[in-house]
Amino acid sequence: MLHFASPASPLDYLQLPIQTLKVGALGTHKALGLALSKKATFLLASTSEIYGDPLIHPQNEDYWGHVNPVGPRGVYDEAKRFAEALTMAYHRYHNVNTKIVRIFNTYGPRMRPNDGRAIPTFIPQALKNEPITVFGDGAQTRSFCFVSDLVEGLYRLLISNTNDPVNIGNPVEMTIKEMAENVIRVTKSKSEIIYKDLPVDDPKIRQPDISLAKKLLDWEPVVSFDQGLKKTVAWFKTQKLN
């Protein structure tokens, strides 16, 4: 069983705060109960958000995180932290064969253009030569993993022997401003960058330490940001953007 149910874009979970908490907590409980009754292997899609606004860099799986439980992002972060705790409890007390993947920022074709996340927002803006909306001063960093690399990592984790959380992400880190400049370059856009308010509790840095995935799963990303961005831009060009 693969449990991916949850809004995952900050824009979505800020609009659906209670549903986000319920699916992460009550939904995960139901899904684990089903896995127990069917003797199924269970994989929880967790997130780098469980590290919050991290105080160590890069983030490895031993880091407990720095999360504001009562901030607007807390609805997602705490739901996923509870989901991890519940998953480990079902593993320890009910012997369910559970896996926990901590997914870092991922991108690729078929993201919604109005998804609210940075890459599917910037590409349509660039293709329409409209201003690119960078939040804050754009100095905050993220590390973006192409979707095919993520899927390979998930699959290897699913068939592995480990029950501990594993980071899956691409460690190549960049500032959001650099990412916007890459989008402008690849789309050959005339867009300018404009700066908007930074959302509350927006993490300042984020980069996965993937040593564990390398060791346990013999996995690391193979798609460069340039290659992945070109594939993603090609897909967005086939879409009707309004």
Binding interface with ligand UDP (CB under 6 A): 10, 105, 117-118, 121, 133-135, 140, 142, 176, 198-199, 202
Nearest distance from C-beta of residue 146 to ligand UDP, angstroms? 14
Rounded CA-CA distance 139/122 in Å is 16
Q: Which residues fall within 8 angstroms of residue 89, CB to CB, at 6 or more apart?
A: none
Nearest distance from C-beta of residue 150 to ligand UDP, angstroms? 14
Nearest distance from C-beta of residue 54 to ligand UDP, angstroms? 12
Exposure string over 171-201, b if 16+ CB within 10 A, otherwise e: bebbbbbebbbbbbebbebebebeeeebeee
Pick between residue 98 and residue 182 the one whose CB is nearest to ligand UDP.
182
Pick between residue 80 and residue 99 the one whose CB is nearest to ligand UDP.
80
Task: Provide the 3-class DSSP secondary structure of residue 211.
Answer: helix
Nearest distance from C-beta of residue 192 to ligand UDP, angstroms? 14
Q: Among residues 13, 76, 90, 107, which one is catalytic?
A: 76
Pick between residue 31 and residue 132 the one whose CB is nearest to ligand UDP.
132
Pick between residue 35 and residue 183 the one whose CB is nearest to ligand UDP.
183
Pick between residue 98 and residue 141 the one whose CB is nearest to ligand UDP.
141
Only one residue has tokens 């967005």, namely 236
Cα pseudo-dihedral 119, 219, 154, 141, rounded to 10? -30
Q: What is the CA radius of gyration of the chain?
A: 18
Rounded CA-CA distance 139/147 in Å is 24
Q: Give strand ranges (E) for the chain.
A: 2-3, 42-47, 98-103, 106-107, 132-135, 141-143, 145-146, 165-168, 173-175, 193-196
- The residue whose Cβ lies closest to ligand UDP is 117
> Does residue 63 carry a catalytic annotation?
no
Tell which residue, 7, 221, 205, 232, has the closest CA to residue 119: 232
Nearest distance from C-beta of residue 91 to ligand UDP, angstroms? 27
Point out the residues that are catalytic.
76
